[in-house]
């Protein structure tokens, strides 16, 4: 319970599908905090080494439309730093985020599929 409200969240990630020059993966988040409902879907493109190339997130949060585009942060080179631009309801949204190396290592260890022929 968070300040007397129940919190429920379900995150699902679909398998990565090979596409020309990389992979595409889809994710969905359904959550609620009390009566506040969030439903977001994301479609993300990864390069052949599974580094982030771009993504689109859309859906709603508490009845407000959410539409954002995510791109690698210019100059980051790691595929783990992103800039997000779009709208949250009528409000423009822009932010940048960089995952610390510990988070990148944890993510890689958990989510990166083994490559055939690896030693």
Q: For residue 76, what pLDDT band results from cuts at 50, 70 and 90?
A: low
Mean pLDDT estimate for the chain: 78
Q: How far apart are the first and last CA of the chain?
A: 46
Q: pLDDT > 70: what percent of the chain?
A: 74
pLDDT score of 10 more than 70? yes
Q: Does residue 46 contact residue 24 with C-beta atoms inside 8 Å?
A: yes
Q: Does residue 55 contact residue 27 with C-beta atoms inside 8 Å?
A: no
Q: For residue 5, what pLDDT band results from cuts at 50, 70 and 90?
A: low
Question: Per residue in 17-65, pLDDT tens?
Answer: 889 989 999 989 899 888 889 999 999 998 888 788 899 999 999 999 9
Q: How far is residue 92's CA from residue 68's CA, in Å, rounded to a whole number?
A: 9
pLDDT score of 4 more than 90? no
Window from 8-12, 40-44, 57-61, 68-72 with minimum mean pLDDT: 8-12
Q: What is the pLDDT, as a whole number, of residue 113?
A: 44
CA angle 79/14/68 to nearest 5° reads 55
Q: What is the pLDDT, as a whole number, of residue 101?
A: 58
């Amino acid at each position: 319970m968070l300040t007397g409200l129940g919190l429920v969240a379900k995150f699902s990630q679909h398998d990565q599908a090979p596409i020309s020059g990389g992979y595409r993966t889809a994710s969905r988040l359904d959550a609620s905090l009390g009566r506040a409902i969030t439903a977001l879907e994301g479609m993300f493109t990864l390069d052949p080494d599974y580094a982030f190339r771009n993504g689109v997130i859309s859906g709603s949060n508490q009845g407000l439309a959410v539409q954002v585009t995510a791109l690698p942060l210019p100059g980051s080179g790691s595929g783990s730093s992103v800039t997000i631009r779009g709208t949250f309801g009528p409000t423009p949204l822009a932010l940048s985020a960089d995952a610390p190396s510990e988070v990148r290592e944890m993510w890689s260890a958990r989510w990166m599929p083994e490559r055939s022929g690896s030693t």
